[in-house]
Amino acid sequence: MKTLFTYLFILSSILGISQNSGIESTLPAAVNNIIEICPGDTIDFTAIDGLNYMFEWDFGNLGNQNIRVANQQFNNSGAFFVQLRTTDQNSNPVGATDYVTVVVSPEPVLDYTATDTPVLCLGDSMDITTTSQIDTVLTCDDAAFVAGTTFLPDGNGVSYQTVIIIDCFPDGATLVNPANFLGVCMNIEHSYLGDLRIELVAPNGTAIDLIPYPNSGGGTFLGEPVDDVTTTPGIGYDYCFTTQATTTMTTAAITNTTIPAGDYASETPFNNLTGVPLNGVWRLRITDNLSIDNGYIFSWFMKFGVGLESSVNYTNPAIISESWFSSPDITSTGTNQISITPTQTGLNCYDFTTTDNNGCTYTEQYCIEVLDPQTDFEAVDLYRYDSDGNGTENFNLDFNTSRIIGGLNPITTSVLYYTTLADAQSQTNPIGSTSAFANMTNPQTIYARVDNTNMLCSNIIVDFDLLLTTQPLTDTDNDGIPDLSEDLNGNGNLNDDDTDGDGIPNYQDGDDDGDGVPTAIEISATGYRIENVPFLDTDGDGIENYLDDDDDGDGVLTINEDYNNNGDPTDDDTDGSGIPDFLEVNVTLSITNIEKDGFSIYPNPLNGNNFSINFLDQNGPRYIEVLNLNGRLILSKELDTSSNSINIELPELSTGMYLVRLNRNSSLTYKLIKR
């Protein structure tokens, strides 16, 4: 039996009475159908009620709510569409889908300019200047809308396509405001610009030329291609075709043999896309018109501004106030500049706050390492075996230079050596031949003076001894560090120096820091410190690599950067740079459960196809990508950081190693093992 509502609905349809539906109100209220909030804010959404109405609030990647009054928190910056679909009890639509745009203010990007490296000494002063800006708010700024690698073979008239499926705009939305189509960006390399026609094709088939054919590009390179008959990928450059740029790529080719990375105007104006549907399959169509040359598009994406689907001219958030928090260390302030004189050693941090016109306030810290000039500078005694018994040998004093400088800027910091304290204090009679200095007494004290062109950590004097032994120096563990130099605390007892705490004193331990890389390799030489053992400190933390269990300071222990699991981290070079991963901070591919940068990933290795991301704070990554070692995208997904833990389900994977890329302001890459 049909309900009374059904009869009333039919009757109202016959009489032409429209059903009232849509968004009734929001809190805070929308202005020009846009709600502007700060990260972490919550919005209340209320739908127009009606007899037996059913509601579906669509929050995109944040999920759906099937209630009349919905409440949703937004943690990530950007622009998001919230859609409301109203139906009757038979699931028939009541009116059109309604929507509102939510803009979450982006955190300002701060850039600091300091007098020197952010390391100084107690008593020093430093000027710090801050510049800030807010990036343009983007709609549908999501990893799911970034296409992967497409090979562009030599086709001689053949067209190739790479696609992106857009599904984030309101139902039925069309491009109304082309000024807010902010660009089409691609990372590409090709050895002959004059060969190509590149078109952007909308979901309804409408196309515009980004690069036309024919064109006057000739043999101009895009990126750095491998210009031979092979299909070896070159290096792609980032090019964007935008509504704001004025120079086309073919014009740029007149004065360049390689098109510089940057923004360019499209040959066909973006206005020609007015009225095209926004949701659907967008394509880059690349036609290779001449023989011989090839190339690659490694990725491409589109940048959509707020109001693309409407006539609203949206204004990006702007900073209205900014300042440093007061501190006793701040001795003077300007508009964006402060002078600081730290009063304590260690890590000193200063807070800088910005507020935008939406009332969003952000605080960021700028931290400086402050050293004690009396205790934080050190040099090691140097030993030589007096083989001929004449009481003199040549010493290389420069082996102490890097140790003394530590985290200071080596460009602006100098170390000079003197034979007396008086000379070091007066800066007279510095030793000339520091790489082969013949001692005059045994022992002989050498004085090293540290100075800085910006007067930071200057006038510091460190002394060390040159010593001759009557017997050849012993190296019990054959690690290249003589036993005498492994007395780190200088108390004359070799048995109480055990850096890795494994119960084996350093002088008997071939891997002093227990990181899986033998000491002999970490000092990059063999023999004694007096001969050819430089001070090597990759991450600049003042701890030599052979005593540092995280050599590159990337938060992943060196022993965990053994990605092929052969017990030797030195032969793992994931990015093919020629530098082992344990010495590259940008390669962070732990093979254990990852806990850093505000999140953790577990289990790793995994036996099935599921793993979890647990957010340790509110600054976790926005989305995740999983790729194989050839760079093929296996999964991309935006992460809802309002939940403390998210389960990621992968497609069926074969055994091997995969890369997990977590994107925030920059990309962080980790390794995932499938067993």
Residue 153 lies in a domain: yes
* Residue 409 and residue 510 share a domain: yes
CB atoms within 10 A of CB 446: 25
pLDDT tens track for 32-87: 999 999 999 999 999 999 989 999 999 988 899 999 999 999 998 999 999 999 99
pLDDT tens track for 367-391: 888 889 888 888 888 888 898 999 9
Q: Is 16 left (phi over 0), alpha (psi -120 to 50) or beta?
A: left
Residue 506 lies in a domain: yes
> Can you give the CATH number for the domain in which 666 is found?
2.60.40.3080
Res. 534 pLDDT band, cuts 50 70 90 = low
Residue 564 lies in a domain: no
* Residue 158 and residue 39 share a domain: no
* Residue 82 and residue 129 share a domain: no
Average pLDDT over residues 452-471: 89
pLDDT at 555 over 70: no
Whole-angstrom distance, CA of residue 306 vs CA of residue 101: 8
CB 633 within 8 A of CB 650: no
CB 448 within 8 A of CB 437: no
- Residue 239 pLDDT: 95
* Residue 528 and residue 397 share a domain: yes
Task: Kindly report whether the global pTM for this prediction surpasses the value 0.75.
Answer: no
* Residue 158 and residue 258 share a domain: yes
Report the greatest alpha carbon distance in the chain.
118
Whole-angstrom distance, CA of residue 392 vs CA of residue 394: 7
55 closest CA partner among 20, 93, 27? 93
- How many domains does the chain contain in total? 5
- Assigned token pair, 587: 């390669």
Phi, psi torsion values for 429, nearest 5 degrees: 55, 50
pLDDT at 538 over 50: yes
pLDDT tens track for 496-531: 888 888 889 988 888 888 888 787 777 753 333 434
Res. 489 pLDDT band, cuts 50 70 90 = confident
Residue 570 lies in a domain: no
CB 592 within 8 A of CB 560: yes
Looking at 204-208, 599-603, 627-631, 654-658, which range is the least confident one? 627-631
- Residue 422 pLDDT: 97
119 closest CA partner among 409, 462, 412, 449? 409
Q: Which of residues 547, 580, 615 is at a domain's end? A: 547
Looking at 300-314, 336-350, 520-534, which range is the least confident one? 520-534
Residue 557 lies in a domain: no
Query: Whole domain around residue 115: which residue ranges?
Result: 109-136+316-371
Whole-angstrom distance, CA of residue 375 vs CA of residue 9: 86
> Can you give the CATH number for the domain in which 82 is found?
2.60.40.10
pLDDT tens track for 214-271: 998 999 999 999 988 888 999 999 999 999 999 999 999 999 999 999 999 999 999 9
* Residue 129 and residue 163 share a domain: no
Whole-angstrom distance, CA of residue 256 vs CA of residue 260: 8
* Residue 280 and residue 150 share a domain: yes
Q: Which of residues 496, 518, 547 is at a domain's end? A: 547
